[in-house]
Amino acid sequence: MFEVRDLHVAVGGAEIIKGLTLSVPAGETHAIMGPNGAGKSTLAYALAGRDRYEVTAGSATLDGTDLFALEPEERAAKGLFLSFQYPVEIPGLSAIAFLKAALNAQRKANGQEPTPAPQLLKLLREKAAALKIDEEMLKRPLNVGFSGGEKKRFEALQMAVLQPRFAILDETDSGLDIDALRIVAENVNALRAPDRAMLVITHYQRLLDYIKPDRVHILARGAIVASGGPELALELERDGYDKYLRAA
Amino acid sequence: MIQRADLPTRRNEAWKYSDLRAAMDGVALDAKRSAATPTHGGVIGALAAQAGNVETLVLSPGQTIVRVDRPAKTFAPRLLDTHVAAGATLVRVVVQEDSDAVSLDAAHVRVAAGGTFRQFVLAEGGKLARVETHVSVDGEAAEIELNGAYLASTGKHADLTSVIMHNAPGAETRQLIKGVAAKGGRGVFQGKIVVERAAQQTDARQYHHGMLLEAGGEIFAKPELLIHADDVQCAHGNTAGGLDEAAKFYLRSRGVPEKEARAMLIEAFLVGAIPKGLPEAIDAELRERIGKWLEAHA
């Protein structure tokens, strides 16, 4: 379903991703683990289409569609979702207005009518309740004054509302306390489905106690240097990244 | 009588970024009567007086008035000379609509003890459009809010100028001006706050934030704070920048097309200057105008 082949990405002329190949079949959740500076966030941004993350070679496809031929909003409409490591604060734009604009823009791109306001509100309430998000928070300006945990919960809410086909979770565990981590993980797990796949990017094994991956890949110096089952994450937790850094 | 040669140019400090004499080239000066009575409101006040275009508004103690002023889309300088009596409230919204004219509007507002003056100006610019506000805080514990937003599209010049004189103690003054300039558009903010020696315990905040929508837009800002009292709280801030690219990418990554994302972000930026608690119909009109402007120019 999601395929990356021999991907090279440069930022400001410096190559960060150096020939990365990855395949995530429908219904599976994969984890990418790697030390600081390995290129984890660069990979996430390049796939989502951020400016200045220049794809110099290779391909990425979602359901056979070339992602790099699409604008960021077109990738989203196609079903790609990136949960940001650092969600952006937008004063003056309420969280609810943001969600409404996002959902209806995607529906429009896919030839669907906008969701009627009462139905949308009901959907938001239901999903927000599952994430223990206070309705008042939805009226506040987007991410402004949200705690780290609230921001990540709001990312999870967006994912629950937008129902992406392929989700990339970039360090969703950073800034989360144990309770918030559990709530976010439960909601991510609830989204696991045979027709959906996920890529969880993280430093630590801890998140993977809650979101159990089918496969674990180790990213070091811009490429996948090892892949294995969930046991690979436990080995990393015990032995660290040293071995892979030396080998890479 | 103000003749063409008396009109200010960039050499006059108060008109540094708005060359009135140059803009008036080809525009007839109206002089129905001579300015026999002393007028307030600077050059615009004097021009309004000689055109017979001065309105006097006196509020009685405790009275509340909400009014919307719409400067003409032709050259017709006007002055509102008003007195906010003790405990009275004047809420004034100025909608300066996009035009090709030299549009000049001034208000001179004297505020007595416990009086409130709240103003919001939406300026869409013109060949040269200036909305100038002079506030004189004459009584204790007055409340002043002087907000505004300017939207300068290609070829338009929008100028928001204000002077707030604190002559009495204990006033609370808030000013938040936001503005955007497209390529070839020019936005001007000049805001002077003076705290006289008698005006102890004045609490004044002034902020101006400009956003250049693309290369070739211009924003000029001259914030001034003159404090002669020693027991006051005053703060001001002034920024100019571009659209937040990270925020735009965030919206696009959620499926919002680029043009729409841009408009949403600019709107979110601008509406922050609209005061809370305006009558619903006025608030809706302001937001609708901003939305329409963004559709056409952002």
B46-86 per-position pLDDT tens digit = 999 988 899 999 999 999 999 999 999 999 999 999 999 99
Report the range of poorest mean pLDDT among A141-145, B103-107, B285-289: A141-145
Average pLDDT of the segment spanning B1-26: 91
- A208-212 own/partner pairs: CB under 8 Å, 24+ apart: A208/A31, A208/A233, A210/A181, A210/A182, A210/A185, A210/A186, A211/A29, A211/A31, A211/A169, A211/A185, A212/A29
Query: Could you tell me how many CB contacts below 8 A there are between chain A and chain B?
Result: 79
- B268-272 own/partner pairs: CB under 8 Å, 24+ apart: B268/A90, B268/A91, B268/A92, B268/A93, B268/A141, B269/A91, B269/A92, B269/B178, B269/B180, B269/B209, B269/B211, B270/A92, B270/B149, B270/B151, B270/B178, B270/B179, B270/B180, B271/A92, B272/A91, B272/A92, B272/B176, B272/B178
pLDDT at A53 over 90: yes
pLDDT score at A131: 87
Q: Which domain holds residue A162?
A: 2-247
pLDDT score at B34: 57
Average pLDDT of the segment spanning A23-41: 93
Q: β-pairing, A215-220 with A223-228?
A: antiparallel
Contact A73 B267 (CB under 8 A): no
Contact A76 B255 (CB under 8 A): yes
pLDDT bucket at B37, cuts 50 / 70 / 90: low
CB-CB contact of B79 with B112 (8 Å): no
Give the pLDDT confidence of B140-167 residue by residue, as tens digits.
Answer: 999 999 999 999 999 999 999 999 999 9
B239 vs A: CB within 8 A: no
The CATH number for A221's domain is 3.40.50.300
CA-to-CA separations, A68 to A32, A62, A75, in angstroms, rounded: 21, 10, 9
Which of B245, B248, B256, B265 best probes binding to A when mutated, by most A CB atoms within 10 angstroms? B256
Nearest-angstrom CA–CA distance, B34 and B47: 10
pTM score = 0.90
**Nearest CA of chain B to the CA of A112: how many Å?**
14
pLDDT score at B85: 98
B261, closest residue in chain A (CA to CA):
A101
pLDDT at B235 over 80: yes
pLDDT score at B68: 98
pLDDT score at B151: 98
Assembly ipTM = 0.94
Per-domain boundaries in chain B: 4-245
pLDDT score at B31: 64
Nearest-angstrom CA–CA distance, B200 and B141: 10
Contact B256 A73 (CB under 8 A): yes
Q: β-pairing, B116-123 with B143-152?
A: parallel
Count the domains in chain A.
1
Comparing CB atoms, the residue among A51, A92, A102 nearest residue B271 is: A92
pLDDT bucket at A181, cuts 50 / 70 / 90: confident
Comparing CB atoms, the residue among A71, A77, A90 nearest residue B268 is: A90
Q: Is B67 helix (H, G, I), strand (E, B) or coil?
A: strand
Closest by Cα among B264, B79, B119 to A141: B264
Nearest-angstrom CA–CA distance, A39 and A218: 11
Q: Which residues on adjacent β-strands are paired with residue B260?
A: none
Which of B254, B258, B267, B270 best probes binding to A when mutated, by most A CB atoms within 10 angstroms? B254
Q: Which helix (H) or strand (E) element contains residue B246? A: helix B245-253
Tell me the range of A199-213, A223-237, B45-59, B76-90 where mean pLDDT is highest. B76-90
Output A181 or B206, whichever has higher pLDDT.
B206
Nearest-angstrom CA–CA distance, B63 and B179: 32
Cross-sheet strand order for the sheet of A2-11: A14-24, A2-11, A53-62, A65-66
CB-CB contact of A21 with A7 (8 Å): yes
Comparing CB atoms, the residue among B249, B260, B269 nearest residue A72 is: B249
Which of A45, A47, A86, A98 best probes binding to B when mutated, by most B CB atoms within 10 angstroms? A98
Chain B hits for A102, CB-CB cut-off 8 Å, are 251, 254-256
Comparing CB atoms, the residue among A49, A90, A162 nearest residue B265 is: A90
**Nearest CA of chain B to the CA of A17: how many Å?**
21
Nearest-angstrom CA–CA distance, B186 and B130: 12
pLDDT score at A245: 78
CB-CB contact of A206 with A172 (8 Å): no
